Each structure stands twice: as C-alpha cells, then as structure tokens.
Amino acid sequence: METRLRGVGVSHGVAIGEVRHMGTAVLEPPAKQIPAEEAEREQGRARQAVDAVAADLIARGNLAGGEAQGVLEAQAMMAQDPELMADVDRRIAVGSTAERGVYDAFASYRALLANAGEYLAGRVADLDDVRNRIVARLLGVPMPGVPDSDEPYVLIARDLAPADTALLDPALVLGFVTEEGGPTSHSAILARALGVPAVVALPGAQELAEGTVIAVDGSTGDIFVEPGPKKRAELEQAALARKATLSSSIGPGATSDGHTVPLLANIGGPADVPAAVAAGAEGVGLFRTEFLFLDDSGRAPSEERQIEAYRTVLEAFPEGRVVVRVLDAGADKPLAFLTPADEPNPALGVRGLRSLLDHPDVLRTQLTALAKAAQGLPVHLEVMAPMVADRTDAKAFADACREAGLSAKFGAMVEIPSAALRSRSILQEVEFLSLGTNDLAQYTFAADRQVGAVSRLQDPWQPALLDLVALSAEGARAEGKSCGVCGEAASDPLLACVLTGLGVTSLSMGAASIPYVRSALAQHTLAQCERAAAAARAADTADEARTAARAVLSGE
C-alpha cells in the first residue's frame, strides 16, 4: 500500500529505488584493564590510529575537492585535537586499552559539545564519525559505511558523515534519506553539490525495511513508500518535464518581463570553479576562503599561497563579479591560532569579523593578498566581512580594506538580526549587503542549523526571516546600493522568486541549483514575484508561506 511521508527536501530531483541501509555503528570496545608496562605501547597504537584516520580524511577530501575538502580537513583536525589526545593518553596511563581510551575520551568531549549550546551540539555527528573510524582501525574491523551493491539504490541513514557523503557515487546512490540533519547540514550542502536528490529530518527513516521501493522527491521533501504505477509515472513525468525546462533555460538570470537578477555561485575554493562555469554562473556570490586556513600547520597561510588560490578563481570570471568572504573562523570552524578555546558558547562569541579584528595581522594579510591577486584582471572583485553586527563593525572592516590598498568594493554580511534592522546605518560605511540566510535564521530563532529537531525553525520560508530579508533589501534600495542573498535559501526556485519580489538584487547558490532557479525566474514577471512575496510575508508559518507563494505564482 502506497504511503506518503514528509521530511525536509534539501537537494532537487526525484529518485526511485530500493532501500539500502548505512552500516551500523562500531560496537563499544570492552572495558578491560592493561598492565602498567603496556601503557606506552597502547598510547603509541592510539596515536598511529589517529594519524592514519586523519590522513585518510584528508585524502578523501583531496579526492572529493570543492566544499567537501574543507569539511573533511576540519574533521582531520578534530581527530588530532591536542586536548583530546592528552585525555586519551591519560586514560591509557591508568589502565585503559587504546580503543577504550579513545572511546571514553571522545565520549567525554561529546558530552561537552552536546551541552555547550545547540550550535556546537550539531557537530556531535562529525565527532562520532571520527571516533568510529579510530576505534574501527584499532579493533581491526572494517569501518561501517556505504553498503556494497551492484544495483543502484536509495541510501537510508540516521545521519551521513561528510566523509561518506563526499565520495558517494551518483551512479549507484540514486538519492538519500536521513533521520537527522537539517537543510544546512554538511550532508545537505554536499548532496546539492553532487546533484543527488536528498531528504533529511525524516522521523522513522531507519524503520524503512531493506529492499523496500521508495520514491524520494528532494524538492518537496516527500517520500512515497511502495509507490504505485500511477504515482511512479507521475513523478517520472514531472522529472522529465523539469529536465526539459532546465535545458531550454539559458543566459543571465531574469524574470519573464526582463528584470535582471544575476545568478551567482557559492564556492569553497578553486576546485568548485568548473562546475560554476558549466552551470552558467554570472560570477561568484560567496567565495568561502576557509579552505586555505583549515590545514594542520597551526598557522595562517602565507600571502603568496593566498594570492595563488584567489587568482585562480578571479581568472575564471573575466568581467564577472566575484564576492569574497574573508575568513569566517570560530564556532564550528575553530582555529587554534585565531579563536578562543574556552568560550562557553562560541556561536555567540568571538567568531567571524570579531576574530579578525582581534588579529589584525591575519586580516591585513588576507586583504593584501586579495588586492594583489586582482591586479591586472578585469574581474569585479568585492570583499565582505562575516558576522557584522552594527555600523562600528562595518566601519572597522571598511577601514581595514582601505589600509590594505584594496580598490574593490567592500560589504557586510547580514547574518545577525541587528544588521537587518539597522541596514541603512551599516550601508553608510560599506557598499553592499549580502544575506547569509542560514546563520540569520539560526540567530533569529535560536535554532541550531545542524539540529534536525529544530529544523522547522531553520526553514527559510519562516515569515519572520522573510521580514528581515525585506528590511535589508529596503534599506539597500533607500541607499541606492545592492543587497544579495548568498545563503542556501537562494537555491530554492520558488523561494528565489519570492526573494526577488522582496527586492533582493542578486542570488548566489551551489552551482547545481542555478539552472533550476534561472528557469523559475524566467517563468514569472517581477509583479508576480512581488505578489508572491507579499502573500508569503502575510502567512503565519513556513508551510503557509510556501503554499501562499506557490498559489500566486501558479495562478491559483
């Protein structure tokens, strides 16, 4: 009998196939005591396993490239955390085996993360994956992971670690469904980059029996269990129609009546450039520069290394617009040389621009490298700061840009409600705004972007979030300046139309989403987008806002 379930759709497309489950977690190692004379040998075993796992994560990142590389390098740093390793050594010194010492040390750190506020609690899944890999190596058993199969399938898991998601083979994994996670989790972001349909935060996902045929609609979040012939034909026909529409949509982003909306790409480094160019991106709306800083050297990259990486990206978009976000460290991206290690809630502490202003040499080197990388190129370079709270922050960043000799435009990200509420004030110091809707939702609703239990509050259709977008866009329009969106909200074709109606002047997203958004905009006038935006803001819930906007744009 056909059954319909509803999760959170995070990656466009439809997948129909049999269920295959992710391998089960590593078993807890036995708690047996070792003689004191064996402690040094066990400590050596633990260090070797940790180093091997870190090396494997880095190798996986090199293979995957793009955004996945930075995520996996951050996991490698987690594996080799000095405080964690010191705890492992201490536990082994008082009688634990290497595997038990690792297991208990990670459990202790896990508890700290889980109780340190929801932002850090969202990193528990990444920590568990690192622990499992180390323990599996010490026990000499295979690491549970993506199942072996000769036939394509739909993958089901409690959650997917970045190391697994990054190397999924789209030829075999038709799509995936997870019980946990949220629309902005690492797995969701990587799924969009791979072009694999995905649904997260589906209650009871792991109860779907092995071999059950399901249909996954990554656009709507719908899961159809044992779909009948009529439903399968309906979904397949919709997928074909969508594909035909996408292939016919080319050129710059614009509404059907000619209102231009530049469609830009979010990239994590030079490896993401080919996909952005192939998708027809008109430039880069968010160049995350963290990939350069997340290595194991314990220090910031040299100016020369930064120049080389930045120039590779800038050269790919002659005459195009490239918006670079300076280093966004802190919270889930701690850097030993930059961010405090003892903050009770790092998400609300010294992160983003705050970290850089505390370390002006790091900011100065990055801005100087960007200035030199752009020399002689026709590209339109723009540089923006993360976590800008007010005009004082904006002025400090603008002053640093001028002191570094940067001739590019400089702007501020709107990720904190105060920045949206005081957008006109901030625009007295900078030349553009860029809305990071993921963090803006997180701080507006006090809802961690990585926690599935609060995913409804991370829904970018929440009317309160749309109100803040509208406030920012209105402030920019009043000052004669631009206001783009570079959060994942821009990757939703329907929401892209609403954002356009709210007055947003550009949209930036993962490269795989650009054709979908281009096609959706081309089917509606600016007036229709404005009516849809008004209808969405008049709603009380995210679901009602989505339904109201869809009704306006479909002419219902």
Phi, psi (rounded to 5 degrees) for 413: -85, 140
Residue 21 falls in the annotated catalytic set = no
- Beta carbons of 425 and 392 less than 8 angstroms apart: no
Report the alpha-carbon distance of residue 323 to residue 265 in Å, rounded. 10
Report the alpha-carbon distance of residue 517 to residue 509 in Å, rounded. 9
Residue 486 falls in the annotated catalytic set = yes
**What three-state secondary structure class fits 154?**
strand
DSSP for 211-264, please give it: T-EEEEETTTTEEEES--HHHHHHHHHHHHHHHHHHHH--SS-B-TT--B--EE
CB under 8 Å to 215, separation ≥6 — which residues?
14, 15, 16, 222, 223, 224, 227, 231, 232, 235
- Catalytic residue from among 401, 483, 486, 497: 486
**What three-state secondary structure class fits 321?**
strand
The interaxial angle of helices 526-537 and 542-554, nearest 10 deg, is 150
Token pair recorded at residue 296: 């194991």
**Closest CA relative to residue 99, chosen from 30, 24, 13:** 30
Report the alpha-carbon distance of residue 201 to residue 213 in Å, rounded. 19
Token pair recorded at residue 308: 């080389």
CB under 8 Å to 534, separation ≥6 — which residues?
501
- Catalytic residue from among 12, 186, 359, 524: 186
Phi, psi (rounded to 5 degrees) for 260: -80, 140
Task: Tell me the catalytic residues.
Answer: 186, 486
